[in-house]
Amino acid sequence: MNIELNQADILNPMEVLKNWIKEVSDDKKQPNPNCFSIATTDQEGVSNVRMVLCKEINITDGYIVFYTNYNSNKASELDFQSECSGVFHWDNYGYQVRFKGYAIKSPKNESDDYFYSRSLGSQVSAWASDQSKCISDREELNKQFDAVLKKFSIKQNQISANDKKLPRPPFWGGYRIWIHQLEIWLNQHDRFHDRILFQRNLSFKNDQYITTQDWRKKRLQP
């Protein structure tokens, strides 16, 4: 890379995250530029990781949002241990962001609004899938999809036309990950990379995490 990270210029690392996602998205060369890994911990202390999509970045409050089935393994693990970690990585650009934070369920109205913005087919899928649970074969899964079509009186041509909206399933919604640690990594020649670590304290109040301090930052060796 021909650019460097200037520690003094970065006051809020969330702005860097949002700008990098926008840059990669605008290039239209990488599928799912808003994709990130999220690692959770089960009750035996074993970590599990998977990829999800970031659907919102709140720069001011310092959280990101993803959506999932609240009965899934990841949701069960977040209910047990809300602290999680994750990574955004854009290899072609030499950008990476690592973070740690606390995942708290999004407000219901926020989850409603996002669910209504999804295509009808995606809404049906959310109702049809008992995420992470075993199933005998694909045919059985298709039957569950068809059962949802019947339940809501949906015809196949309506899915392609996208002319109907379903209510949000009570077992589906968003999580806000309130970030307390974030590392910005920029690829450099000879593996002499730029790394800047940002940290802040969070305090819990009224089912939300609120910041108690500004971001603190320090440069890390590669």
Does residue 2 belong to any structural domain of this protein? no
Does residue 22 belong to any structural domain of this protein? yes
Q: What is the pTM of this model?
A: 0.93
Give me the number of domains the chain comprises. 1
User: What CATH number is associated with residue 170?
Assistant: 2.30.110.10
Q: Which helix (H) or strand (E) holds 110?
A: helix 108-117
The domain in which residue 156 lies consists of 7-220
Contacts of 219 (CB under 8 A, 6+ apart): 7, 194, 195, 196, 197
10-residue stretch averages of pLDDT, the chain, 222 residues long: 68 96 96 98 97 98 97 97 98 97 96 97 96 93 96 91 92 97 95 95 79 88 94
Name the token pair of 38: 């999220």
Does residue 59 belong to any structural domain of this protein? yes
Q: What is the pLDDT of residues 154-199, one digit of tens each?
A: 998 899 888 889 999 999 999 999 999 999 999 999 999 999 999 9
Phi-psi region of 129 (alpha: psi -120 to 50; beta: other; left: phi over 0): beta
Question: How far, in Å, are 105, 114, 121, 167 from residue 117 at the CA level?
Answer: 19, 5, 12, 11
The per-residue b/e assignment along 122-153, b for 16 or more CB within 10 angstroms, e otherwise, is ebbbbbbbebeeeeeeeeeeeeeeeebbeebe
Does residue 210 belong to any structural domain of this protein? yes
Does residue 1 belong to any structural domain of this protein? no
Does residue 126 belong to any structural domain of this protein? yes
